[in-house]
Amino acid sequence: MRAPRLIEASLACYPAWWRDVYGEEIRRITQDLAADGRSEIRLAGDLLRGALTTRMRGTAMPRRPELWATRTRVSVAVATLPWLVVVPFVLAAMTGQSLRTISAATLADPTTRISTYAYEVMQLALLVSFCAMAAGWGALAGGVRRARRPRRRHLVLLSYVPLVSFLAVLGLFIARVTQLPNEFTSHGGPLIPLDGNPAAAHALLIALWLVLVTGVLASVWSLALVTKHAEMPMLYVRSGKRMATFTALSLALMAVSAVVGAVAAAYHGHPIPSMDNFLYTGKYIGGRYPVELPGWWLAAVPLNAAAVVSLAGWRVARRAWVTTVTLTGPA
Amino acid sequence: MGNRLGRTQDPTLMVLTSLTGGPKHGYALIQDIDDMTGITLGPGTLYGVLARLEEEGLIEALPAEDRRRPYRITAHGAAVLRERLEVTAKVARIGLRRLGAFT
């Protein structure tokens, strides 16, 4: 007999091996409890919490090597995929700034220095994690090509979705840069571009963001499928575990930096300069891109959520890896 | 106050104690623990505990009857429970004595 839909949805959150052992009992017990007048929502909530705990701890998981290898791969995906999801927010926060003049008093304020350091740490961590993700993707693609799975070709094609998305975004970015004005004139008023095509640059910016968001979603979906189903050699799983370490720590660092920057900006009460820039208007003039307060929070909130998920995935991946190696021998 | 203390109770101890009264399936365990302590365990919490106790060899599952699988405590489980209850009883005795002096 099928349990109500909410209970079934909560049960679906448990791992398959767990449902095989306890699924029928749980369905029966929830029917009995519902007949006693227990709220279905509360029962489903308790099952959801139980499912999360079971997935985190792997309690009573059969000691079968293939199950533990899958657990390691899925945990690596949980540790790394939040990075992909959060990148558009970070890029929006870091690039959505306007050039403006900053007063000397603002520059002298200690919070300016704090937020500048926070911004630079964020940039560095983003770069490190990007390199880790690129290296990890290379290892994943190699692992999928050597996987034992019968539908290997299908998975190999899916593993290339992030690369295709990245190249599309890069292409649009370069196309936009070629359309951006480089020279301006100013007769005491606003800057007037002398070259480039601002309208085309704007259209390309919209296209870039559309492709970025679509590419991120498609990459998360394809990588989640590939990591779960491709039974790749252990050597490649170990690379994935290392990548998970880099990604989780970088995300945590970025999350802390974003909060520090946001608090500094809130304390200061007005935008804080974080990036020097120079524009050419017949002669070089100095300018600064201040990161507005909403920009900091736009990065801080998703980054913290992503860091929590990523660190949890990393923790599970480390433990699952130890058990996998115990069961299968060293990679 | 009762609910707040209920959250700090160890469901492992409750399940093991309930099983000392004889083998029980999940629903009977929830009812018995409710009668004993006034705390209602949810199915997710209960089966998390049952899975862990079974993995540690403290309880074992018996053949299922009508999609209900009874569980019974093992000898090892009984020994572990006895040890834990003795510590708990000692803490309770000392606590109550000191509370008497306090009031």
- Among A27, A28, A54, beta carbon nearest to B48: A54
Cβ–Cβ below 8 Å for A29 and B30: yes
Q: Strand B59-61 to strand B71-73: parallel, antiparallel, or no bridges (unpaired)?
A: antiparallel
Question: Mind listing the pLDDT tens digit for each residue in A154-190?
Answer: 888 899 999 999 999 999 999 988 888 777 776 666 6
Cβ–Cβ below 8 Å for A26 and B55: no
Closest C-alpha to A280, from A195, A200, A176: A195
Residue A304 has pLDDT above 90, yes or no: yes
For residue A253, give Cα distances in angstroms to A26, A59, A115, A256, A272: 41, 31, 14, 5, 20
- Among B45, B54, B66, beta carbon nearest to A46: B45
In this prediction, residue A277 carries a pLDDT of 42
Mean per-residue pLDDT for B38-63?
A: 92
In this prediction, residue A112 carries a pLDDT of 74
Question: The tokens of B34 are what?
Answer: 């409710």
Name the closest residue on chain A to residue B49, using Cα atoms: A59
Mean per-residue pLDDT for A295-301?
A: 84
In this prediction, residue A281 carries a pLDDT of 41
User: Residue A187: exposed, middle, or buried by beta-carbon count in 10 A (0-12, 13-18, 19+)?
Assistant: exposed
Most confident stretch, A138-152, A229-243, A256-270, B2-16: A229-243
To the nearest whole Å, the CA of B56 is away from the closest chain A CA by 9
State CA A211 to chain mean position distance: 16
Name the closest residue on chain A to residue B48, using Cα atoms: A50
- Other Cβ atoms closer than 10 A to B1: 5
To the nearest whole Å, the CA of A47 is away from the closest chain B CA by 4
Cβ–Cβ below 8 Å for A48 and B48: no
Question: Mind listing the pLDDT tens digit for each residue in A8-35?
Answer: 899 999 998 899 889 888 988 998 888 8
Instruction: Give me the percent of chain B exceeding a pLDDT of 70.
Output: 90
> Residue A81: which H helix or E strand, with range?
helix A65-95
In this prediction, residue B20 carries a pLDDT of 95
**B50 to chain A: which residues are within 8 Å by CB?**
22
**For residue A288, what are the β-bridge partners?**
A100, A276
A276 — pLDDT class (breaks 50, 70, 90): very low
In this prediction, residue B84 carries a pLDDT of 93
To the nearest whole Å, the CA of A311 is away from the closest chain B CA by 23
Question: Mind listing the pLDDT tens digit for each residue in B51-69?
Answer: 999 999 999 999 988 778 9
